[in-house]
Structure formats: structure tokens, C-alpha cells
Copies of this chain bind each other. A is one copy, B any other.
Amino acid sequence: MSEAAQLIEQIGKRARAASRKVAWLDGEVKDNALRAMADVLLAKRVHLQNENAKDLEAGRANGLTSAMLDRLTLSDKVIEGMAEGIRQIAALPDPIGEITGVKRRPNGIRVGHMRVPLGVIGIIYESRPNVTADAAALAVKSGNAVILRGGSEAIHSNRAIAACLAEGLAMAGAPADAVQVVETTDRAAVGALLRADKYVDIIIPRGGKSLIQRVMEDATIPVIKHLDGVCHAYVDEHADLHMAEEIICNGKMQRTGVCNALETILIHQDVATTFLPAMAKRLHTGGCALRVCPRSAEAIGEAAPTQPATEADWEAEYLDAILAVRVVDSMDDAMDHIDQYGSRHTEVIITKDYAASQRFLRQVDAAAVMVNASSRFNDGFQFGLGAEMGISTDKLHVRGPVGLEGLTCQKWIVLGDGQVRS
């Protein structure tokens, strides 16, 4: 067994043992532990920043961009933000132990569900060290143990943050091993973690597409992930066109580098010439480039510069101020386009027509389907989950923002009085 595999096995065994303890801590103990974790982070600010300085120095030596160094920096504000984030998670209701749907069967046994933790969660993430605190807090609140593997460029910072979190856990009488960081930059450790199915129940990768693809390929453990966010807005023939303009501008331009931003808009042919010129002009003025189908080009005319869209544009997740535009014959054509090119993340219809709204809601397959609202709302805070561990475009277990409940499962419980099967 390689050194990395041995390390992961040790960490995994400790996590598994801790998970059995943290699973049934009283909510009060978990919340005290979370608040202690926040307190220790604030108390050790200087130490955290000293450790962070080592990562920043190595990062500069290794030629990280200033944006990357920025994300890596544990400023006072970032540390205060981590502590505040943990306190907010402590204030959420405890999801564990909820019993639902108990029904009495003809023979008198009562059968229902109890919500329980998943067990051990492995998180693999990239440069932002504040994910360490955030992910650990969500895992502990939902009764899980967590193994964190951050980017090697943040190793000192992550290690120092995890030590603070473990100290907070121990102060509250919770098992310190419920939060562990993989303390090596050996890349083989990631591979070992992805195959540690004896100890780890689920892997959540947080980061760019190449990270997520590697995790998908190598993991023998179930993965909660999203790979692409190719999100569409469809402007129906009966849309409020002013509303459509606002929703599209917001969806594309409010923040371009995020997975719930719009990448393509689909316009019903009957409103193309009314809608597209002003829309295109506004997007262009806002700095957005347009990749358009022939009919869109014709409708837009001289209102804004455009480039012809190619097949690759319909599949593109630009993560940038670029928007693909296509005119469609009907809502069915729009839904076919979405089915073919969408990534099942977030899909929006703008319409005043009741029947169209209901049919789009029902028939479009995505983690979130919206009527007359911005795609940017597909987010744990916006949906009222309080916080999110990530977002899922898979169909199994959890779709969309993964909040506390997404880190749990339900087991069956049976309450009998001696019944046997005849």
C-alpha cells in the first residue's frame, strides 16, 4: 500500500469512528461546537494569517496570478466571514432525527422514515481556504464526519483552519476527528480518497471542470456534482417583453462566471423582431458579445454587432459576457433545444400564458425550472436552505443546491409489538 493510501486509511478509520459519535450528538452540542469553532478561528487570527503567509509566499514563487493569490488570502474580512458563516449554520434547524410518514399497517406495525446523516463526506476543492470552514460546519451540523482535501497551494492555511475547527469541536465535547484535513500535497492522496469506499460514503468536488471530471473518472464512491451550467431562458410568444429583458440581463450579466448564469436565449419567432433589437442593444452596451442564429441576426439587424453562432455555441458554457441567441418556431422547439444542449441545471420561461408556464414547468428536465424569474436564483441561500455545500445536476439523491438535507438520508423505522410474517 502506498504512503498516500496508508494516510487515507488512517484518516478514514478515524473519520468513520467519529461519524458514529457525531451522528447522534444532541443538536445543542453540535451548535455549541460550531460556535466554538467560530470563536477559535477569530482567536487564532494572527496564527492563521502567519500560516497563510507561507502559502502566499510559495504561491508568488510559483507564479500564481493575482486573482489566484487574492482568493488564497485570509484577510481579516475573510476570517470574520468564515466565523460568521459557521454561526449562521449553527442557527439553522437540526435536520437529524426527523421522523416522517409513519403509517400503521394492517398487522399493526407502524412504518415510517427517520432522517439520518450520510456518514463520512469527502470534499475535494481548489484554492479558496474558506471552503474548509464552510464545508466542515455543514458536515458537522448534519451529523457527518468530513475529510477535506484542498488545493496544495493552500496547504498551510487549510491545516491551520482545520486545527482551529478540531479545537472547537473538542471544547464542546464533540469528536475532533469529525473534521480532518488531508495533510499532504501528494496528489496520490486524492486518488486514494476517491477509492476509500470502506470509509467514505460520498465525495463532493468543488471546483473547475477538470477537477470534477477527474473525480468522476476515478471515484468508486458516489459523487454529488455539477459539471456544466448551460442554462437557457425561453421568451414565449406571450411573454411580458420588458420582464424578459430584465430577467435576461440579470441572468447573463449580474455575474458572468457562475454556473447559474444564462448562456443561451431562445426567442419565439412571433416576438423576435419586437424583442431582439432592444435586447441586443442593451446587452451590447453592457459589454456582452452575441452569437446568433440567422433569424436572430435578421431580427437584430443593425441594433448591435453580432457573430454567427456555430454548433459549438449551443453547447458552450461561456462563463463570460457572451450570449448565444436563437429564434425558435414554438415552445416545443425551445424545449427540444434545451433537451439537446442543456446541462439540466437551470431553465427559465418568460410568459404570461398559464398553459405554457405549466407545460414548461412539467416537461423541462433540469435541477431547477423557473417561470418569470432569473436563473441566478438557483442557489442555496436564495432557495431558503440557509447555506449550500455545492450544487447537483445529477438526478439521484439531490438536485440543485445541496443544503443540510442533501447531506442526510432517510432510513426506514418499524415499530412493532411482536409481529411476525405469516
A187 at the interface (CB under 8 A from B): no
A114 at the interface (CB under 8 A from B): yes
On chain B, the residues within 8 Å of A378 by CB distance are 412, 414
A399 at the interface (CB under 8 A from B): yes
A247 to B116, CA, bound (A): 26
Contact B411–A373 (Cβ < 8 Å):
no
Query: Given contacts A377-B419, A416-B373, A420-B376, are A97 and B383 in contact (CB under 8 A)?
Result: no
Contact A373–B246 (Cβ < 8 Å):
no
A250 to B377, CA, bound (A): 53
On chain B, the residues within 8 Å of A370 by CB distance are 413-416
Stretch at the interface among A173-181, A270-278, A319-327, A361-369: A361-369
On chain B, the residues within 8 Å of A339 by CB distance are 20
A119 at the interface (CB under 8 A from B): yes
- Contacting residue for A395 out of B114, B201, B412, CB 8 A: B201
- Contacting residue for A415 out of B254, B362, B371, CB 8 A: B371
- Contacting residue for A400 out of B240, B377, B411, B415, CB 8 A: B411
Query: Given contacts A397-B397, A420-B247, A421-B254, are A414 and B369 in contact (CB under 8 A)?
Result: yes
A87 to B342, CA, bound (A): 37
Contact B377–A414 (Cβ < 8 Å):
yes
Query: Given contacts A396-B222, A411-B366, A411-B399, are A103 and B374 in contact (CB under 8 A)?
Result: no
On chain B, the residues within 8 Å of A363 by CB distance are 20, 23-24
A410 at the interface (CB under 8 A from B): yes
- Contacting residue for A421 out of B103, B376, B395, B413, CB 8 A: B376
* Integer count of this chain's copies in the complex: 2
A256 at the interface (CB under 8 A from B): no
A50 at the interface (CB under 8 A from B): no
On chain B, the residues within 8 Å of A249 by CB distance are 420
In chain A between 368 and 422, which residues have their CB closer than 8 angstroms to a CB of chain B? Answer: 368-374, 376-378, 382-384, 394-397, 399-400, 409-421
A69 at the interface (CB under 8 A from B): no
On chain B, the residues within 8 Å of A367 by CB distance are 411-412
On chain B, the residues within 8 Å of A394 by CB distance are 222
Contact B109–A373 (Cβ < 8 Å):
yes
Q: In whole Å, how far is A61's beta carbon from the nearest beta carbon of chain B?
A: 39
Return 20 A-B CB contacts under 8 Å, by A number: A20-B339, A23-B363, A105-B383, A105-B384, A109-B382, A111-B382, A114-B361, A118-B396, A119-B365, A202-B396, A222-B222, A247-B420, A250-B420, A367-B411, A373-B416, A377-B416, A382-B421, A383-B412, A397-B397, A400-B411
Q: A250-B421, A368-B414 are in contact. List 19 more A-B contacts (CB 8 A).
A: A24-B363, A97-B362, A109-B373, A111-B384, A222-B396, A366-B411, A367-B411, A368-B411, A369-B412, A371-B413, A372-B415, A372-B416, A373-B415, A373-B416, A373-B418, A376-B420, A377-B419, A395-B409, A399-B412
When A and B form their complex, which 6 residue pairs have the shortest distance between CB atoms, in order from nearest?
A: A373-B416, A250-B420, A370-B414, A368-B412, A376-B421, A243-B418
